A and B are shown apart, each in its own frame.
Chain A
Amino acid sequence: MRQGEHLRAYLREEAMPNVWCPGCGHGNVMGAVTRAFDHMQLDLDETVVIGGIGCASRMPFFLNTNAMHTTHGRALTFATGVKLARPELTVLAIMGDGDALSIGGNHLIHACRRNIDVTALVLNNGIYGMTGGQLAPSTPQSFRSTTSSFGSIESPFDTVGLALAAGATYVARATTFDFEEMPQMIEAAIRHPGFALVEILSQCPTYFGRLNKLGDGRALLDYEKDHTAPLEGVTRQELAGQLPIGVFREEIRPEYTRQYAALCDRARRDGHA
């Protein structure tokens, strides 16, 4: 058997080919997701993967789980409804950077705050891919896009900082370059009993790479390598110009659906309404 052949069980092959360009990092992420599913022997019938709109958010179509492909920025709102109505289901929300941070930013904040047991994967490629390479809230300053031809004058969004501040209880950052670690992070996020967010730096050669003259998918992986550093054992100074990679927070706080179940018990006991 070819290496990884067993992972086909996690893919919905009749929905292929996928929508991603040659060299795109999103396929790597899907590979990591299937490895995480496989390692934890996830029950696909009891799993719902929910996407928003955009390149990353197409992933639910290609995974062999229950799936929802929803509206731009709102994946977490559907995920909240599914998880609350059937807490025993495993729920993942897979979003892009524009999806999760721009149009869906408010939903992300409140999902973090509620600490609902949903796993959010934010695939950050620094640009709007599906609509043709426009400026994203994650585009680095001075970088070009089809709507920032003279270079962006905006500060890019700090996804991890936002999730930490808003109260997510598992927060991590991965890259498609550090592929080996990604499945473990995704598995830890799924196992985590609370809101878990993994930001995954992914590469977009078609727009981000081309418009900024950074080369193809492989060159962009090198770019990721050069601009990131492991979180552990490095000081802030050493990180100058580099994004830390690793697990920023893993803590247990009361989870929303469990708190809600306890609230229902209280309401029943107290004989309200």
Chain B
Amino acid sequence: MQQLIQGNEACALGALAAGCSFFAGYPITPSSEIMEWMSRLLPPRGGVFIQMEDELSSMGAVIGASWTGAKAMTATSGPGFTLMQEHIGYAAMTETPCVIVDAQRVGPSTGMPTSPAQGDVMQARWGSHGDRAAIALTASSVLDTYTMTIEAFNMSERYRLPVVLLLDATLAHMRENVTLPEIPIVNRSRPVSASGFEPFGSPDFLPLGAGARFTVSGLSHDEAGHQRASKSDAGERLTRRAIDRVLADADRITLTRQEALDDAELVLVAYGITARAARAAVRQLREDGVRAGLLELQTLWPFPAELVGSVVRNARAAVVAELNLGQVVTLVSAVSGTTPVHHLGRMDGALLEPGAIVAAGRRVLDNAAQEVLAR
């Protein structure tokens, strides 16, 4: 069945399809419609919706609910995402499955609340203190928003992680005709038996109130949940194990769309809303006889460095197009070898249009020999 729906609505429908039964949030533009939809969709299905007093409490409630076994999520935008970082770190430390949707707007601070940006890429990875495992996904269409919300839940359940889905103000509010597909759902695995089960450092998850009494703590702890806050390698051991769980499965986690890359002399790297313009730019450049291709990153974290590197190094030049002043470009430049990488970015609330990307592509090809690496 075709239906005309908004990006935020697609996100809510994706969450329901993924089995989400708990939503806690706080109003913020441009993500508010996600919580409005959840407030209508969850109660008749017996799920829990609560509007909390702020974003910190929203994330706290989400983590508490997840520890009863519920699939739980919140949705926010830049300022709220910043407030959530403490509890995103807690979720990582305690290996808590949950989903955080960030409909990005221009920052820093209050910035431009109704205008799109892609400035939270690094915050999605490094926003909370300390090192941790992280997964962050993107979407570039309303249909994508639906499927990637489900992917976010599936990955959070499979790897016991807070997973971030990065949207933006345009995608959040945009409407497209979609036919929602059936997508397989992943549920967190339970240990065979509660007795003797060590609740941390394992992909298996045992909720509170299931017969094995233990402590969930943000202090460094061991596999049994005993705090090991001084002179112990337990915290590093469990963090490494969580990171390794993700990296060992990086091929499965890395989602990309690759278009016309086989013979590409010019590679465009983009993600989210900007990938749409980049796709149009590839068509235009091809029509004009320029062998351009697109690498759309649907998974930003873990960053698929190997794949990006091999694609970019095969080309004469690359353009990274993103709505910020240089975030993913730093990662691409690190693996680009001798291929010049040009950054095309803005944070004035406007989108990057195909024409601008075409022009940048032509310029960088013309100057390929002299091009200095962008910052």
Contacts and interface: CB of A to CB of B under 8 A. Distances in A.
B218 interface: yes
A86 B22 CA distance: 11
Contacts of B63: 70, 78, 81
A174 interface: no
Contacts of B57: 74, 76-77, 80, 106-107, 110
Could you say which of A14, A68, A69, A272 has the most chain B C-beta atoms within 10 Å of its C-beta?
Answer: A68
Contact of A84 (B43, B46, B48, B226): B48
B216 A69 contact: yes
B65 A82 contact: yes
Q: How big is chain A's contact interface, by range?
A: 35 or more
Interface string B55-75: 011111111111111101000
B44 A273 contact: yes
A242 interface: no
A175 interface: no
Contacts of A107: 53, 57, 60
B325 interface: no
Interface in A61-97: 61, 64-71, 74, 76-86, 89
B60 A65 contact: no
Nearest to A109: B53
Given A81-B22, A85-B68, A86-B68, A45 B209 contact: yes
Interface in A227-249: none
B44 A81 contact: no
Interface string B209-222: 10101111111000
B50 interface: yes
A33 to B, nearest CB: 15
B64 A82 contact: yes
A222 interface: no
A68 B61 contact: no
A71 B86 contact: yes
Nearest to A263: B43
A85 B62 CA distance: 9
Interface in A156-199: none
B90 interface: yes
Given A68-B67, A267-B43, A80 B216 contact: no
Contacts of B218: 69-71
Contacts of A2: none
Could you say which of B22, B46, B54, B63 has the most chain A C-beta atoms within 10 Å of its C-beta?
Answer: B63
Given A45-B213, A71-B90, A272-B40, A66 B60 contact: no
B87 interface: yes
B191 to A, nearest CB: 16
A273 B40 contact: yes
Given A14-B226, A260-B48, A106 B54 contact: yes
B219 A69 contact: yes
Contacts of B213: 12, 44-45, 64-67
A273 B44 CA distance: 7
B67 to A, nearest CB: 7
23 contacts: A12-B215, A48-B208, A48-B209, A61-B217, A67-B213, A74-B87, A78-B64, A80-B52, A80-B60, A81-B22, A81-B62, A81-B72, A85-B22, A85-B48, A85-B64, A85-B68, A85-B72, A106-B53, A107-B53, A267-B43, A268-B44, A268-B46, A270-B44
